[in-house]
Structure 1
Amino acid sequence: MPTERSPRVQRALRLATGTALCLAASFGLALPIPFLAPVLALVLLASVNRPLPLKAGLVLALAALLTTGVGLLLIPVLRYYPVNGVLLVGVCLFLLFGYGLRGGNNLIVTFLVIGLTMIPAAGVADFDLAATIIGALVKGLLLVVLIVAVSHWLFPDPPNAPSPPFAPPLPPEETGRVALRATLIVLPTFLLVLVDPASYLPIILKAVSLGQQSSTTARHAGRELVGSTLLGGVLAVLFWCALSLFVHLWMFFLWMLLFGLVLARKLYALSPSRFSPGFWLNTFITLIILLGQSVQDSAAGKDVYTAFAIRMGLFLLVTLYACLMVRLLDRRATRPAHGLT
């Protein structure tokens, strides 16, 4: 029996433990939008396999500053010049997704996209709601940095563990098309949030997750996007039923740890699967968002099951729309090639 775990085992344990710790701490501290921090922790732990150095922490702090600043500056533009404001948001989303596809930091892109959409959409309706989102981003970022450090201390990579290979960047001629696809996925959701920010804010997180799945092709769009959304919904229902047996913060942590370990085994290919890592990451993100909103609905005295059904229906609509965009743009990209043969 080897005395040291393999790097993939350590990373799976780190991902599940860090996400569960961040979820429990976020709800235990009653942070605003408590499911935002575990989503950011999940993305960070899945994309970075080393502890955050001081320079990376400063970059994240700068990203949070840019996120809040750009979001606040867009509020008066959207309020008094709505058409120009929406077009400006669309152009910024296109540039951000293009930056990420050319090898930029996906976590920075996620921060900026959330700030570019959630903060101005909330601020148009209620500035206090925008301030709540800013507080959630800042406090969530501080919590994520702390939890990530603890997770790497608990489950460090073995010495001289090879780093996972970086995904090859898309060809330059593909970058514009995929960035446009991601923009067209997120922008309609942004318009929906402008109508009712308080009800539809979580959908932006789902749309951002779908938009960043750059490797999805038209042939696998239904399986990758719709399948992961449905699986995330089913796991959220199972999680809720299990949590209902004994409602306690520690049980919340333990159940999330268990579900996280199952998904992390799939994500890091410790358990054979025919689905891509993006499928399992999107499933995990969907589970956290749906479950977090249901817990908040229960604490507020709302009808949890009706709210979950409505939210799940909206998630599926957004996902089906994302599949449509993938198919339309991929078909348009391949049409000239067919014409030459």
Structure 2
Amino acid sequence: MRIERPARVQRALRLGFGTALCLAASFGLALPIPFLAPMLALMMLAAMNRPLPFKASLGLILILMLTTGTGLLLIPLLRYYPFSGVLLVGLCLFMAFGYGLRGGNPLVATFLVVGLTLISAAGTAEFALALEVIVALVKGLFLAVTTLTISHWLFPDPASAPPAKPGPSLSPTESSWLALRATLVVLPTFLLAMVDPASYLPIIMKAVSLGQQSCATSARNAGQELLGSTLLGGLMAILFWCALSLFVNLWMFFLWMLLFGLLVARKLYGLARTRQPPSFWLNSLATLIILLGQSVQDSAAGKDVYTAFAIRMGLFILVTLYACVMVYLLDTRRRRRHAPKPTPEEGQPG
């Protein structure tokens, strides 16, 4: 006999459990780029209140393969005509963000952005690295879809739960402006990743998360939301690492992620009072997953975890500060452009 819980409680339990399960399974199975699977699971669990049918799951994996394949087509252009290639990537990013803002499938829009940035940046260094990223994305999505199905089976929404409310409709001008803003947030990080793709792939995922978050924030709240969520994610990663170092095994990895995921999910779904919007808490948890996943990989490779974390966190803060400045400058310029101009009578002294 199932216990009938409110929909928000079920969704919080589902997000916390599903993210923790996917994270532990990804590292336990030694998937390539293991933080990608829990990142995809987090996005899907936050966006979907219903499980995916089997055909839809297969279709989603095929869509991922097709959308990420677009990054492969851009590799020759970026290698031999870098200026034209970067302009084309920027145009494609603008169209992908615009597609999501105009009511398109948000997961497809995310896959397009990830494919355009991760795959093409990796391919400029080595084609084999781009193929490795595609394999990691496909395996990660398969694991994320499996986790989504298990989480919905364990914590289904009540039968009386209302369907998810559609997002606010935006005018073509507003959606184009937000898409341009998100593109300018992601593009410089993409250029940085082209220098050393193997080291800067996590920075691209952070920039993609910031680009999506910038579509839902304003210049007034940009610093608090973007920078605040990044700093909170870094603080949680430090606390998580210290707690995990007490007992280092996969079960504790799962249990600590479950605890942190549930704490954030309570804020995300309004079960605990908070002044921050859901995008703040979603970006905080995404930052935790990226930083933690890379630290675990650094430890397994015998690298200095603390130095690598400090460098990576510094880059995250710099990318976030750039995103805040870009949002502020673009919104300020737009307000000035649309501000009513004084009439000649108003400009004359009385």
Q: What is the TM-score normalised by the length of structure 2?
A: 0.95
Unaligned runs of 5+ in 1: none
The separation in 2 between residues aligned to 1:63 and 1:317, in whole angstroms, is 33
Task: Encode CA deviations 1:191-250: one digit per residue, 9 max, x unaligned.
Answer: 000000011000111111111121210000011000000000000000000000000001
Q: Which position in structure 2 is the counterpart of 1:20?
A: 20
CA contact (8 A) 1:12 1:268 kept: yes
Alignment map for 1:5-154 (pairs within 5 Å): 5-154=5-154
Alignment map for 1:305-316 (pairs within 5 Å): 305-316=306-317
Task: Encode CA deviations 1:263-306: one digit per residue, 9 max, x unaligned.
Answer: 00000000000000000000000000000000000000000000
CA contact (8 A) 2:193 2:200 kept: yes
Unaligned runs of 5+ in 2: 343-350
Query: Which shows bigger deviation, 192-201 or 329-338?
Result: 329-338
Letter of the aligned partner of 1:4 in structure 2? E
Q: Which position in structure 2 is the counterpart of 1:190?
A: 190
Instruction: State the Cα distance separating 1:340 from its structure 2 match.
Output: 3.5
Q: Which position in structure 2 is the counterpart of 1:284?
A: 285
CA contact (8 A) 1:13 1:264 kept: yes
Instruction: State the Cα distance separating 1:31 from its structure 2 match.
Output: 0.2
CA contact (8 A) 1:22 1:143 kept: yes
Letter of the aligned partner of 2:141 in structure 1? L
Letter of the aligned partner of 1:306 in structure 2? T
Q: Which position in structure 2 is the counterpart of 1:300?
A: 301
Letter of the aligned partner of 1:337 in structure 2? H
Letter of the aligned partner of 2:263 in structure 1? V
CA contact (8 A) 2:68 2:111 kept: no
1:212 is paired with a residue whose SS is helix
Give the direction of change, closer, same or farther, for the CA distance of 1:240–1:178 in structure 2 (3 Å limit): same
Aligned-residue sequence identity (percent) comes to 71
CA contact (8 A) 2:68 2:114 kept: no
Letter of the aligned partner of 1:321 in structure 2? Y
CA contact (8 A) 1:63 1:112 kept: no
Alignment map for 1:260-279 (pairs within 5 Å): 260-279=261-280
CA contact (8 A) 2:41 2:144 kept: yes
Instruction: State the Cα distance separating 1:336 from its structure 2 match.
Output: 3.0
1:198 is paired with a residue whose SS is helix
1:45 is paired with a residue whose SS is helix
The separation in 2 between residues aligned to 1:185 and 1:336, in whole angstroms, is 21
Once superposed, what is the RMSD of the aligned Cα atoms?
A: 1.2
The separation in 1 between residues aligned to 2:6 and 2:281, in whole angstroms, is 20
1:339 is paired with a residue whose SS is coil
2:339 is paired with a residue whose SS is helix
The separation in 2 between residues aligned to 1:306 and 1:43, in whole angstroms, is 29
Query: Which shows bigger deviation, 308-317 or 170-179?
Result: 170-179
The separation in 2 between residues aligned to 1:329 and 1:207, in whole angstroms, is 17
Task: Encode CA deviations 1:63-120: one digit per residue, 9 max, x unaligned.
Answer: 2121332111111111111111111100000000000000111111111111111111
Where do 4+ consecutive residues of structure 1 move more than 6 Å?
none
Q: Which position in structure 2 is the counterpart of 1:168?
A: 168
CA contact (8 A) 1:5 1:158 kept: yes
Highest CA radius of gyration, 1 or 2?
Answer: 2
Instruction: State the Cα distance separating 1:3 from its structure 2 match.
Output: 4.8
